[in-house]
A and B are shown apart, each in its own frame.
Chain A
Amino acid sequence: MALTKVYDAATVFKHMNGILNVYKPAGMKVKHVRNAILSNICKGLNEMEQRKPRKLQENIRLLGTGTAADHVLHNIGEQTDLSDHLLSTGPRYLPRDLICTTVSSLGDHTSGVLLFGINRGAGQSTSIRKNRPVRVYHLIGHLGIATENNIPDSRVTMRSNHRHVSADRISSLAASMQASHQRKMFELCGVDLQTQEAYELACRGLLRPADDSQPVVYGIKLIHFDRPHFTLELHAINETQEYLATLVHDMALDLRTVAHCSQLRCVRHAHFDVTDSLLRHAWHLPGIIKNLRQQRDILRAHPQLLRQQRVELQATE
């Protein structure tokens, strides 16, 4: 398919459908990201070529003196409907003309991949959400300092020594936590881990929660350790910012020290990766259109994102 240059706002608006992958900066609310995106889209559309004002109807009754200096008459002569002029109706595209839904929200302090469904992509976003894909996080923990809500912007509640903590100990703790989470999942399904039934269940793919109430962790791995910071890679469904921060805090308690979560970053949401997410300085119309196209290719390459066998979704309660 050949690419052509488009100058017409209506054409762009017509093709603005699909999933948008935005890099949400830390410390910015999802609502604010959404408003910024929508207002930037509208700004871009309003700067493009607009529809000309309508023509007046032919048989309108002429009111006025009929002299040459009569402005009303002049305009009727030109047959343009001034009440449809940009200056009297206001901008043609407003943020509320666009439909925009989030696939799943991120906490205020979390940064990373945030998916929006724009216009006709709203339906796609709902079906992605209902499939409950796994999200991958990189969490940076800060050893030695505990804060009130386990996030750096609150008060420090505790300090402790962390010289005895090594990368090995964090790794082994992470592995044991991962194992216990997996065991818990099978137990919730009501099958014993050492049976054929459990094997068949595991063969059908990831065991996913049936609703979005219970956070489920699939994998925890230490990927970087640089005292006092350590980075965990975590695969999870239904997680929240508070849950992740508490998890880091609890891990530190098991290691006989304290920690808070200095950074939470979502690096992957299903197949939507952080590498093609849209950074804040690219939140303009051309960037957004390009990103929509990229995400459409991803959706086409992985149709199971939208339609999926729903057997395993029933697996846990």
Chain B
Amino acid sequence: MFCSAIRNILRNSQNAVITSQIRNLRGQQSAHHEVEVLTSAGITHKQNNKKTEPAESEGSKEVALDFRNREAHVPSFNLAAYVNNSSTLQQFISLGVDLHSIERRKGLGDFVLKLDFEKNVKPYITFLVDQGVSPDDFGRMFTKNPLLFKEDLDDLQTRVEYLKSKRFSDEARQRILTQNPYWLMFSTRRVDRRLGYFQKEFRLSGHDLRLLATREPNAITYNMEHLRKSVFTLKEEMGFNAKELSALVVRKPRLLMIPPDDLVERFSYIHQDMGLPHAQIVQCPELLASREFRLRERHEFLKLLGRAQYDPQKDLYISPKTIVEGNNFYFVRNVAKSELETFDLFLKTR
């Protein structure tokens, strides 16, 4: 009983030190407080030294630069606490990896901390450079998917070879790897199944399939259930036929990743209120990719000006594609041919 009580107290005091350390990291503290915190951190450090001396002396022979063995005894809520002592994390920062967003995802903080830059990271970077990925994108890629370092290098090579065998061009492969860091996590069998699904569902030719995968690599590895739901919405609820559907998907693969409810809302506004037929929507799928309030504002403004004329056979035709292009200023000046003040006044009557 007594022992456990003491242990609790100790644990609490340790936590208090750590929380104050973290507060310190947010950097809003006065200098006086900083000094206080840093000295207390030093004390805990010393205590830890004593405890871990035997283990540490062994470890120091192998990895002279890395002090995570020692640091592992100080629990922390974030990776920032280890950055000053870990060369791996410092390398990550110089690559532009956002450690803050990694540690917010479960388990990834632990994983990243255990990596050794020379052993676990460097081979992957050389591999990616060989695939033509630009070094500027490394930060974003590793932030999104640090688990890439868990995969076997041979597997990654096989997955790239698979893409090559499917005749994806160099630029296409480069774009796929950069835009979708998760692509390489998928086994060749799984990617093959996904590509097969897309080809069969939309009856795409090889060229169109490659175009789709390159335009929106995220669509291929997206949640399968969501994809099925989107396809159902497009096909059954909105009534696009097979030919229109494939044209729509190849032109704007992002439609598959939009929540189906939003998609139906936008479609019903375009089809019923703006009165555009299916054929015209297929011509400019950007309409479906634009948020409903944006369409509504702009269409109603054009209607007020008497310029909402989307029939190409008649005079004063306004292409539906230009409605959703650009910001409000561009729209008001170039499409509606009006003044921004007028548009603002109009919006304030909505």
A residues engaging B (CB < 8 A)?
23, 25-27, 51, 54, 56-57, 63-65, 70-72, 75, 81-85, 87-92, 111, 263, 265, 274-275, 277, 279-281
A selection of 12 A-B contacts at a CB cut-off of 8 Å is A54-B27, A72-B84, A81-B84, A82-B93, A84-B80, A85-B83, A87-B93, A87-B98, A90-B100, A265-B349, A277-B348, A280-B347
Inside 8 A of A25's CB, which chain B residues have their CB? Answer: 293, 350
A89 with B100: CB separation less than 8 A: yes
B residues engaging A (CB < 8 A)?
25-27, 38, 64-65, 67, 78-85, 87, 89-93, 96-101, 293, 327-328, 344, 347-350
Quick one: given A63-B67, A65-B65, A88-B93, are A83 and B347 in contact (CB under 8 Å)? no
B65 with A72: CB separation less than 8 A: yes
A87 with B96: CB separation less than 8 A: yes
CB-nearest residue of chain B relative to A267?
Answer: B348
Inside 8 A of A70's CB, which chain B residues have their CB? Answer: 65
A72 with B38: CB separation less than 8 A: no
Shortest distance between the CB of B23 and any CB in chain A (Å):
12
Shortest distance between the CB of B319 and any CB in chain A (Å):
22
A57 to B45, CA, bound (A): 15
Inside 8 A of B78's CB, which chain A residues have their CB? Answer: 88-89
A279 with B90: CB separation less than 8 A: no
For the A-B complex, the count of residue pairs with Cβ-Cβ distances under 8 Å equals 86
B349 with A84: CB separation less than 8 A: no
B65 with A88: CB separation less than 8 A: no
Inside 8 A of A71's CB, which chain B residues have their CB? Answer: 65, 87, 90-91
CB-nearest residue of chain A relative to B92?
Answer: A87
A85 to B82, CA, bound (A): 12
B84 with A87: CB separation less than 8 A: no
A83 to B23, CA, bound (A): 12
Inside 8 A of B84's CB, which chain A residues have their CB? Answer: 56, 72, 75, 81-83
In the complex, the 7 A-B pairs of residues with the closest C-beta atoms, listed nearest first:
A90-B100, A88-B80, A83-B80, A71-B87, A82-B83, A83-B83, A88-B99
Q: Which of B67, B89, B348 contacts A23 (CB 8 A)?
A: B348
Shortest distance between the CB of A268 and any CB in chain B (Å):
12
B350 with A111: CB separation less than 8 A: yes
Inside 8 A of A54's CB, which chain B residues have their CB? Answer: 27
CB-nearest residue of chain A relative to B93?
Answer: A87
B328 with A281: CB separation less than 8 A: yes
Shortest distance between the CB of B230 and any CB in chain A (Å):
24
A42 to B297, CA, bound (A): 27
CB-nearest residue of chain A relative to B349?
Answer: A265
Quick one: given A71-B91, A82-B93, are A88 and B350 in contact (CB under 8 Å)? no
Shortest distance between the CB of B254 and any CB in chain A (Å):
22
CB-nearest residue of chain B relative to A274?
Answer: B348
Shortest distance between the CB of B214 and any CB in chain A (Å):
30
Quick one: given A83-B80, A88-B79, are A279 and B96 in contact (CB under 8 Å)? no
Quick one: given A71-B90, A89-B80, A90-B100, are A63 and B85 in contact (CB under 8 Å)? yes
Inside 8 A of B98's CB, which chain A residues have their CB? Answer: 87, 90
Inside 8 A of B80's CB, which chain A residues have their CB? Answer: 83-85, 88-89
A57 with B89: CB separation less than 8 A: no
Inside 8 A of B89's CB, which chain A residues have their CB? Answer: 82, 88
Q: Which of B64, B100, B347 contacts A279 (CB 8 A)?
A: B347
Inside 8 A of A56's CB, which chain B residues have their CB? Answer: 84
A64 with B25: CB separation less than 8 A: no
- Kindly name the residue among A63, A65, A274 whose own CB sees the greatest number of chain B CB atoms within 10 A: A63
Shortest distance between the CB of A135 and any CB in chain B (Å):
16
B26 with A89: CB separation less than 8 A: yes
Quick one: given A56-B84, A265-B349, are A82 and B101 in contact (CB under 8 Å)? no
CB-nearest residue of chain A relative to B42?
Answer: A61
Inside 8 A of B90's CB, which chain A residues have their CB? Answer: 71-72, 75, 82
Q: Which of A26, A88, A92, A279 contacts B344 (CB 8 A)?
A: A279
A230 to B172, CA, bound (A): 58
Inside 8 A of B65's CB, which chain A residues have their CB? Answer: 64-65, 70-72
Quick one: given A64-B65, A70-B65, A88-B80, are A26 and B350 in contact (CB under 8 Å)? yes
Inside 8 A of B25's CB, which chain A residues have their CB? Answer: 83-84, 89
Shortest distance between the CB of B229 and any CB in chain A (Å):
24
CB-nearest residue of chain A relative to B98?
Answer: A87
Shortest distance between the CB of A114 and any CB in chain B (Å):
13
Shortest distance between the CB of A60 and any CB in chain B (Å):
9
Inside 8 A of B101's CB, which chain A residues have their CB? Answer: 90
Inside 8 A of A85's CB, which chain B residues have their CB? Answer: 80, 83, 93
- Kindly name the residue among B84, B92, B98, B100 whose own CB sees the greatest number of chain A CB atoms within 10 A: B84
Inside 8 A of A90's CB, which chain B residues have their CB? Answer: 98, 100-101
Quick one: given A65-B65, A83-B83, A88-B89, are A51 and B27 in contact (CB under 8 Å)? yes
Inside 8 A of A75's CB, which chain B residues have their CB? Answer: 84, 90
Inside 8 A of B67's CB, which chain A residues have their CB? Answer: 63
A87 to B95, CA, bound (A): 10
CB-nearest residue of chain A relative to B79?
Answer: A88
A88 with B83: CB separation less than 8 A: yes
Inside 8 A of A63's CB, which chain B residues have their CB? Answer: 67, 85
A297 to B293, CA, bound (A): 32
B64 with A65: CB separation less than 8 A: yes
Quick one: given A64-B64, A82-B93, A274-B348, are A89 and B27 in contact (CB under 8 Å)? yes
Shortest distance between the CB of B300 and any CB in chain A (Å):
12
Shortest distance between the CB of B12 and any CB in chain A (Å):
23
A54 to B83, CA, bound (A): 13
Inside 8 A of A89's CB, which chain B residues have their CB? Answer: 25-27, 78, 80, 100
A23 with B100: CB separation less than 8 A: no
A144 to B85, CA, bound (A): 74
